[in-house]
A and B are shown apart, each in its own frame.
Chain A
Amino acid sequence: MQPAGNAAASSAVLVQFTVVVLATVAVTSEYATGSVRAALLSVPRRSRVHAAKALVVAVVAFVAGAAFAVVGTAVAWFGFDGRASFSVGLSLRQVLAIGLYEALVAVLSVGVAFATRHPAGALSILATLLWALPSILLGLGGPTLAGLNGRLPHGAGERFMRPAAEAPYGSVTAVLIVAAWAAAAHVIGLYVLRRRDT
């Protein structure tokens, strides 16, 4: 029997779509309208502007992800009608894990959006990283490619949103992998914001 929260965890891939789009647009719309100049004139320290954006979007994504997980778990619990297990401890853990995952995806998206400045560019990169690559790797199959997928943000996210016994690494490592992706994107975004003209 699966924990009811797994249903919510499986569809985190769909919620992440919303998070990615919103996080991207939160940054690129500032470039499209030129209001980023007003922001940089008010706060010339690039790291602050970038961090503030990432923080706000991450908090929204966390709340949205967690709220969605609560609803999803409840729906699954009633829907599966006794064919799914439910424990408060595990469910709470899953809800927080999904929230955390969405928050990290939001930070990742903000970094990519600051690096590209255009929604088309940012969304292409993010869609490749979060959807296309995992589908290709898993579709081709084989332990090497599956292992590689486990190092991508969504593959690693699955590992801590839906803990399974056979995972090659633990939840903490999984969180660190996703966080490393988010941190890398953040650093690249900040580098571009610092170096490029506005």
Chain B
Amino acid sequence: MITVRGLTKRYGGTLAVDGLTFDVRAGRVTGFLGPNGAGKSTTMRMILGLDRPTLGRALIAGRPYADLRRPLCAVGAMLDARAVHPARSGRAHLVAQARSNGIPLRRVDEVLEQVGLAKAARRPAGTYSLGMSGRLGVAGALLGDPPVLVLDEPVNGLDPDGVRWIRGLVREQAAEGRTVFLSSHLMSEMQLTADHLVVIGRGRLLGDTSMAEFLAAASPAAARAVVPDPEERAALVRRLLTADGVTVEASESGELTVEGRTAAEIGDLAHRCRVRLHRLSDVRVSLEQAYLDLTARSVEYTTGGYTADTTAVPAASDEGER
């Protein structure tokens, strides 16, 4: 369990993280989303005691990271996969970490095997490919068999096989009751991996909800139906449009896109009016779309765009000076 309370980080003039408060609970995968520069990595560094919060605190199982006695056995972290001394072999890198935390050395070979690096283990880490570095990073996170995992873009640079392997790994870890907190920009992957989402933008919390709620909130009920007969199609559309809040779009091929009704409702209606359907399905909004809608609504990240509130302040002061 990770507890973040009023966490704030200021770097000179930039407020990288702005009063974040949320919990990362055990037994589920919590995805951490936000545009570039939103403050995800900074938040994770503060959780791991690498950056000092300007305000607020981040606790792991109720304690600050610096107070953990054998930290690698309490939290497994992967921040920057490339942050390994290039002359050290992958194995030597892990051995040093294991020694410092009283982890038996046989565990080093176990995790190297687990991440598929056993063959390259004795080569200098500087010769690893991006994906291999990523695997070494994951090996380091798993080393102490920790109940909490904090992973910053773990699938970055992994091949499709690796991406699927990470997905299976973190889901398995969460199913065992561990706490998993991971960031990623791959929305389709996140949709398959995470149970819960924490979304930030410009350092501020935009959302802290379950994946299902997040998707449901973003998409009103919608469905597609294919009605082969034009007359029946027109009849169905008329019936659908009698209700408020329902919109129907018809494509040339005869496919109807209905917003405000689920597939089940349309199916029932079609049955009642004796309309033949060739295909009927709910339209599910993707996490990508839901995420883009949320960030677009809550501000500004569109390239070169400005928010109402950021432009309002300087504009007002400009006028005051004139």
By a beta-carbon cutoff of 8 Å, the part of chain A in contact with chain B is: 29-30, 33-35, 37-38, 40-45, 195-198
Interface centre among A41, A45, A195, A198 (most CB of B within 10 A): A41
10 contacts between A and B (CB under 8 A): A33-B85, A41-B50, A41-B97, A42-B71, A42-B97, A43-B100, A44-B68, A197-B45, A197-B51, A198-B51
Residues of B within 8 A of A34 (CB): 80, 82-84
Q: Does A30 lie within 8 Å of B85, measured CB to CB?
A: yes
Residues of B within 8 A of A40 (CB): 49-50
Q: Does B66 lie within 8 Å of A44, measured CB to CB?
A: yes
**Complex Cα gap A44–B69 (Å):** 9
Residues of B within 8 A of A197 (CB): 45, 50-52
Residues of B within 8 A of A195 (CB): 52
- Min distance, Cβ B256 to any Cβ of chain A, angstroms: 55
Residue B48 is within 8 A (CB to CB) of chain A in the complex: yes
Q: Does A38 lie within 8 Å of B68, measured CB to CB?
A: no
Q: Does B66 lie within 8 Å of A35, measured CB to CB?
A: no
Q: Which secondary structure dominates where chain B touches chain A?
A: loop
- Min distance, Cβ A173 to any Cβ of chain B, angstroms: 38
**Complex Cα gap A29–B83 (Å):** 11
By a beta-carbon cutoff of 8 Å, the part of chain B in contact with chain A is: 45, 48-52, 65-68, 71-72, 77, 79-80, 82-86, 88, 93, 96-97, 100-101, 140
Residues of B within 8 A of A196 (CB): 52
**Complex Cα gap A41–B68 (Å):** 10
A-B interface pairs (CB < 8 A), number: 57
Q: What is the chain A residue whose CB lies nearest that of B77?
A: A41
**Complex Cα gap A43–B97 (Å):** 9
Q: What is the chain B residue whose CB lies nearest that of A195?
A: B52
Pick the 6 closest A-B CB pairs, nearest first. A34-B83, A197-B51, A42-B100, A35-B85, A44-B66, A198-B50
**Complex Cα gap A33–B85 (Å):** 6
Residues of B within 8 A of A43 (CB): 71, 100
Residues of A within 8 A of B97 (CB): 38, 41-42
Q: What is the chain A residue whose CB lies nearest that of B50?
A: A198
Residues of B within 8 A of A37 (CB): 50, 79-80, 83
Q: Does A42 lie within 8 Å of B72, measured CB to CB?
A: yes
Q: What is the chain A residue whose CB lies nearest that of B85?
A: A35
New contact pairs (17) apart from A37-B50, A42-B72, A197-B51, CB-CB < 8 Å = A33-B84, A33-B86, A34-B80, A34-B83, A35-B88, A37-B80, A38-B140, A40-B49, A40-B50, A41-B48, A41-B71, A41-B97, A42-B100, A43-B100, A44-B49, A195-B52, A197-B50
Residues of B within 8 A of A33 (CB): 83-86
- Min distance, Cβ A191 to any Cβ of chain B, angstroms: 13
Q: What is the chain B residue whose CB lies nearest that of A49?
A: B100
- Min distance, Cβ A10 to any Cβ of chain B, angstroms: 35
**Complex Cα gap A44–B68 (Å):** 8
Q: What is the chain B residue whose CB lies nearest that of A30?
A: B85
- Min distance, Cβ B108 to any Cβ of chain A, angstroms: 13
Interface centre among B72, B88, B97, B100 (most CB of A within 10 A): B100
- Min distance, Cβ B244 to any Cβ of chain A, angstroms: 55
Residues of B within 8 A of A198 (CB): 45, 50-51
Residues of B within 8 A of A42 (CB): 71-72, 96-97, 100-101
**Complex Cα gap A35–B86 (Å):** 9
- Min distance, Cβ B218 to any Cβ of chain A, angstroms: 35
Residues of A within 8 A of B45 (CB): 197-198
Residues of A within 8 A of B50 (CB): 37, 40-41, 197-198
